[in-house]
Amino acid sequence: MSTNEPHEQPDPGDPKQSQPAAQSQPDPQLQSDYTGAERQFGYQTIPQPQPQQPTQPVPQTQPQSQFQPGQPGQPGQYQRPPYQPTVQSQQSTYQSQRQYQMPPQEQSPYPQNPQYPQYQYPQYRQPQPYPPYPYAYPPQPVDPRIVRRRSLRRTVGRPAGLVFAYQGVITGVSIVAGMVLGAVSVAGRFGSSVSSGTLSQQEIAQLEQEFARQSVQWAGVLSILSVAVGFLFMLLMRHRAILTREFWTGDPREPHAQMRPAWLLAFAAMLVGVQGVFILIQAAFAALGSTLVSPTSESLQESAVTVSMWLYIGLIGPIVEETVFRGVLMKELKPLGRNFAILTSSLMFALFHDDVVQGLFAFACGLIFAFVAMEYSLVWSIALHVFNNAIIGGVLGEIADSFGDTGNVVYALCLIVVGVGGLIWVLLRYGWGLREYVRVNRSAPGTYWGWTSGLFLAFVIVNGLYALISFATAMSGVA
């Protein structure tokens, strides 16, 4: 093909070039198939919106490009007019779609959007922050040892103060009742002389003898009265603990040993052994030319001539003392360690007697009573206490005293042989177990800081001073 041949121009008069291509029409066969499916399955087609023919006139067609032949040896060129964009409306209206109506809903019996009353809450004033305290120095951290010592003092001080108050109650009741009884006795015997204020020396001596006789006669009654009032005080303060079965028989949630006859016999032998050891100590002082005097023991022997005094020494006294010292005091100290509770309760029990000799004996017996109450129950410690007071110190002592000095010597020798021998046998047989018990139940380091409690120290100082003064007075009188 020669390059000089002109390109083929489109003919403007050709209808194929000037008319736009016809729009494609849907196939009638397919249209009939869709219609048949709608009738068969009940479909309803939504009529689709059909574009509407433009209402504006078709703009004029662009002029055709003209061909200009080139010079010889050069190809021709088309000359095109400048491009003018055609404006054609794209807006079309669509038919509205079919509106579906929802089925009417049932009328609800409840009101729509009920109006509830609005509660008016009270308006509280917002707390105002405290102004910072003007510390001269930053606060120092608290030493945990100091905090623990304070806690120990409170733990020991509460039961110690309660026992101190109990002692004050029984002492006050005994003094007041004794004064009332003495006043009534004097008024009945020497009423006229006392009212006139004229008492001779003989009447004063008779008054003193009558007062001493009345004191011995009514000592048991006064003791029972004072102890009963003290027990009521303790019951008022600790009724929730005392009026329970666990207080007397032991807590079932804690392991307790069952008392066997062999163990009961061993504990009784230990009590007899303590009696024998103190007889040996008194004999040793007598060999040295001195006599150990116990004011409490002497007063008990003088007043133990009435049924009321025997009842107090052998039954009521042991029950109340075990309730106070082994029931209340020791149980409240038990969280600090069993060894600490046993030792502290025994020490306070010894000081409670206000007698040096009787206090030492009470401390040794208190260790046995406390161990039995801790490991078995309070009932068994009461039984051993009654056995010690009523049997060893009461019935057997009176039987021996009925035979005179010979009977007392024989009874003392029996206590030494049987008691000391039994004590040695128990220590040899069960000494390892006792040492292991002390090692296992050792209190935490620093527990004995609880003894620095103010109430505990007050109890120790008051009773200790009274015991020392009475012992010194009695020893000086003997000398």
d(CA 206, CA 190): 10
> What is the pTM for the complete model shown?
0.69
Q: How far apart are the first and last CA of the chain?
A: 168
For tokens 């103190």, the residue is 278
More confident call, 289 vs 54: 289
More confident call, 287 vs 89: 287
Q: How many Cβ atoms from other residues are within 10 Å of residue 297's Cβ?
A: 16
Please give the pLDDT value at position 454.
95
More confident call, 166 vs 41: 166
d(CA 234, CA 211): 31
Whether pLDDT at 70 is above 60:
no
State phi, psi for 66 to the nearest 5 degrees: -105, 140
d(CA 271, CA 387): 9
Please give the pLDDT value at position 19.
46
What percent of the residues of the chain are helix, what percent strand, and what percent coil, each to the nearest 5? Answer: 65, 0, 35
| Helix, strand or coil, per DSSP, at residue 226 | helix
Whether pLDDT at 203 is above 60:
yes
Please give the pLDDT value at position 383.
95
Our CA dihedral for 114, 120, 126, 127, rounded to 10 degrees, sits at -110
Q: Residue 197 — very low, low, confident or very high, per pLDDT cuts 50/70/90? A: low
Please give the pLDDT value at position 92.
47
Q: What is the mean pLDDT of the chain?
A: 78
Whether pLDDT at 385 is above 90:
yes
d(CA 189, CA 471): 35
Please give the pLDDT value at position 1.
46
Q: What residues contact 429, with CB distance under 8 A and at least 6 apart?
A: none
Please give the pLDDT value at position 2.
44
Q: Residue 152 — very low, low, confident or very high, per pLDDT cuts 50/70/90? A: very high
Please give the pLDDT value at position 295.
84
d(CA 252, CA 247): 10
Whether pLDDT at 102 is above 60:
no
pLDDT in tens, 387-417: 999 999 888 888 888 888 888 889 989 989 9
pLDDT in tens, 436-473: 999 999 999 999 999 999 999 999 999 999 999 999 88
Q: Residue 350 — very low, low, confident or very high, per pLDDT cuts 50/70/90? A: very high
Please give the pLDDT value at position 93.
47
Q: Residue 196 — very low, low, confident or very high, per pLDDT cuts 50/70/90? A: low
Whether pLDDT at 56 is above 80:
no
Report, as an integer, the average pLDDT of 235-245: 93
Please give the pLDDT value at position 301.
78
Whether pLDDT at 421 is above 80:
yes
Please give the pLDDT value at position 219.
84
Whether pLDDT at 138 is above 90:
no
- pLDDT > 70 in the chain, percent: 67
More confident call, 110 vs 118: 118
Q: Residue 59 — very low, low, confident or very high, per pLDDT cuts 50/70/90? A: low
